[in-house]
Structure 1
Amino acid sequence: MPRRHLPLPLLAASLVLGLAACDGGAPDTSLPADADAAPTTVDAPAAPPPPTSASPAPVDEGAAGYDGYGEARFGMTADAVRAAWEGALAAVPDASEPCYFLYPAGNATPADFAMMIEGDRFVRYSVGRGNTVETAPGGGKVGMGAGDVEALYPGRVATSPHKYVDGGQYLRIRARDDGPGVLVFETDAAGKVTEWRVGTPPQVDYVEGCS
């Protein structure tokens, strides 16, 4: 029996249907619903605002405090101060006196940094005009103007005339916590800080060494 051939249009349709059956259906060439949408972005965290000019800069006060200097605390005996101090300490005028000063043995000028011992107790330390490195509690330094001191310790400065310098002043500041420690700046006639000291009354107010 002769074989029957399908007409060409029917043959083409059959081939299309067969391929669709083998592939599980015609391929879906349509785009996803959100294909044209903009890609999702993640916002970066906001940078912190820059500090304002009114923000005070942090102050590195070093070892100076209202309660002593470094590991040496007011009320310690002279031997305890020596033990707490790193390095040798010399005495002036003499350690046998009721009141004298201890200072780093390497200092050419004892007045640049000295610790007062009275009745065998550490009661005060002082910084002289040659020492512009040391920073007082709160940020004051030798060479600073009286106005700068007022700005660093607003509402806390009690002023009085200098005993020996015409136009000079004493700028007296108590600790914030009402502790026994007191800070005193001395200024010249131009209002510049020439020296400062921290100690407990009455010794912190001595203006002639041990008196």
Structure 2
Amino acid sequence: MILAPNWLPARLGLLAAALLALAACQREAAPPPQESASAAPPVNPAPIDDQPAENVPPATAPVSSPPPSAAAGQARFDGYGDLRFGMTAEQAKQAWGGELKGKPDEPGGCYYLQPIWGSNPRDFGFMVEDGKFVRVDVGNDKEIAPGGGKKGMSADEIGKLYAGRIETQPHKYEQGAKVLRISDAGGGVLVFETSSDGKVARWRVGVPPQVDYVEGCS
């Protein structure tokens, strides 16, 4: 039998101890296992502040005046305000809601009803004939005709507002002046009188035949 030297067991013990120590060091030095990407908490990006530092008022569209063709007045092809052509004089007064002055020189005659502040019926007045309200006369630049026309406009401007509807006639009394006549499907007629400079001097709206009286009630 071959016997191991006396020093062999001691060396084997030392070798085993060294191996155990080396294994322990490797366990300590190994990095910790990383968490999977799916387990990582979501990262919320910082909010982007795209608002201005100062308070900015909301944008507002510029307010523009409506074109003359869109302007609305009291005059209509069938009357004025609550007054309607064909009403009796008393009905017209009630519809006006205030005092109207004027009376016929003879029963059934032609005359004008005017507000108490009126001085000339050709500047603003309601024509009555045969006891019926038949026409509105306007000679001021404040009132607007149905369709947007008014005193002071040129004949060209009137032509654009009422394109294709105007019947042009020479004025009966004023050389170079014209009468621009516009008929409505409902039976009303609008008449503009221009002066020799081509500008509207007055206008009227009413029903035939009274709307075509050039001299009014004269």
TM-score by length of 1: 0.73
Determine which of 22, 25, 32 is the counterpart of 1:16.
32
Q: Does residue 68 of structure 1 match 2:79?
A: yes
Change (3 A) 1:104 1:94: farther
Change (3 A) 1:31 1:120: farther
Residue identity (%): 49
Deviation per residue, 1:3-58 (Å, 9 max, x gap): x7652112344x836xxxxxxx72539999xx9xxx9xxxxxxxxxxxxxxx9665
Residue number in structure 2 paired with 1:140 = 149
What is the deviation of 1:109? Answer: 2.9
* Cα RMSD after superposing both structures: 3.2
1:185-196 mapped onto 2 (5 Å cutoff): 185-196=192-203
Higher helix residue share: 2
Q: Where does structure 2 lack aligned partners over 5 or more consecutive residues?
A: 1-19, 49-65
Determine which of 163, 175, 179 is the counterpart of 1:170.
179
Q: Does residue 98 of structure 1 match 2:109?
A: yes
CA contact (8 A) 2:69 2:161 kept: no
CA contact (8 A) 2:136 2:205 kept: yes
Structure-2 separation of matches of 1:57 and 1:83: 31
Residue number in structure 2 paired with 1:158 = 167
Residue number in structure 2 paired with 1:48 = none
In terms of Rg, which structure is larger?
A: 2
Residue number in structure 2 paired with 1:201 = 208
Q: Does residue 82 of structure 1 match 2:93?
A: yes
The residue type paired with residue 121 of structure 2 is: P
Change (3 A) 1:196 1:31: farther
